[in-house]
Structure 1
Amino acid sequence: MGMISEFKEFISRGNVVDLAVGVVIGAAFGKIVTALVDGIVMPVVGFISGGVSVSDWKYVLRPAQLDAAGKEVAAEVALKYGLFIQTAIDFLLIALVIFVVLKAYNKVRTPAPAPATPEDVLLLREIRDSLKKPA
């Protein structure tokens, strides 16, 4: 079997196509939730906390050093924890929405029908039941 025919067989399997669709939809969904967090949730949190953007929250370890002309000589050293908080909220919202969607999907999904009992098993059950009957 040639490499091209093996590749066609690999690609034509449902799992690969399903995985590709899931990755593309997941990436698009991540962008939607990120836009929600950046455009709606974080401005509200920033407004409540005094008008400063959450992504700008930081703890300055060493302030920037300026020369006599006011030009920056050494950049500030800061722990930017606000960006971490914003990314964590983004992740939690994505995880929450995925959880809710999967929960709804599992509720709607119909269970697979039970497989039919093989004929030989049915025959063996009949023999067993007939042997149990008193003569």
Structure 2
Amino acid sequence: MKFLKEFKEFAIKGNMMDMAIGIIIGAAFNKVIDVLVKKVFLPPLSLMTDGLNFQDQKYVVRESIINTQGEVIVKEVAVEYGVLVETFLDFLIVGLTVFIVVKAMNKLRSKAQDPKNEVVATPKDIELLSKLTDLMEEQNVLLKGK
């Protein structure tokens, strides 16, 4: 029963919910990026390269051997670098998008943590620390003046 109680506390605290939400959003984000690469970026790139389809690009190391009935006796051995190019584009787009989102979040966070910025509401703890710092500086000036 202790295990169930600990699990319930873990789930209620929000850790599990935050993780689940992050995983769900990440999966949806992955689908969006996949469509973006395959349906938006690759077709114009294919057009610029005379209809080159990256998924079909490969370097054949050994051709397949087919008998007279058309059956494959020995399978083809190939390095499919086109899939690597496509996956690399996925990675670059995801990386760039995450970078932009994190950069925007950091900018908003720094504005929120600046007590002198009145446009964005400053969290109470930072506001109180800022007032405490100002009071200590005033006290130091008064003590030095004596």
Q: TM-score, normalised by structure 2?
A: 0.73
Question: Which stretches of structure 1, 4 residues or longer, exceed 6 Å deviation after superposition?
Answer: none
Q: Give the 3 Å change call, closer, same or farther, for CA 57–3 of structure 1 in structure 2.
A: same
Q: Distance in 2 between matches of 1:115 and 1:17?
A: 31
User: For 1:9-48, what aligned pairs fall within 5 Å after superposition?
Assistant: 9-48=9-48
Q: CA deviation at 1:55?
A: 0.8
Q: How many residue pairs align between the two structures? A: 129
Q: Distance in 2 between matches of 1:99 and 1:37?
A: 18
Amino acid paired to 1:82 = G
Q: Distance in 2 between matches of 1:61 and 1:75?
A: 11
Amino acid paired to 2:92 = L
**Per-residue CA distance 1:69-110 (angstroms, 9 max, x = gap):** 333221111110000110010111011111111212222231
Structure label with greater radius of gyration: 1
Q: Larger relative contact order (C-alpha < 8 A, sep ≥ 6)?
A: 1
Amino acid paired to 1:31 = K
Q: Give the 3 Å change call, closer, same or farther, for CA 126–90 of structure 1 in structure 2.
A: closer
Tell whether the 8 Å contact from 1:61 to 1:78 is kept in structure 2 after alignment: yes
1:94 counterpart = 2:111: no
Range that drifts further, 92-101 or 17-26: 17-26
Q: CA deviation at 1:115?
A: 4.8
**Per-residue CA distance 1:12-68 (angstroms, 9 max, x = gap):** 223332222111101110110011111121122222222131011111111111112
Q: Distance in 2 between matches of 1:49 and 1:75?
A: 29
Amino acid paired to 2:103 = K
SS at match of 1:98: helix
SS at match of 2:73: strand
Tell whether the 8 Å contact from 1:65 to 1:72 is kept in structure 2 after alignment: yes
Once the two structures are aligned, what percentage of the paired residues are identical? Answer: 36
Identify unmatched segments of 5+ residues in structure 1: none
SS at match of 1:60: strand
Tell whether the 8 Å contact from 1:60 to 1:77 is kept in structure 2 after alignment: yes
SS at match of 1:16: helix
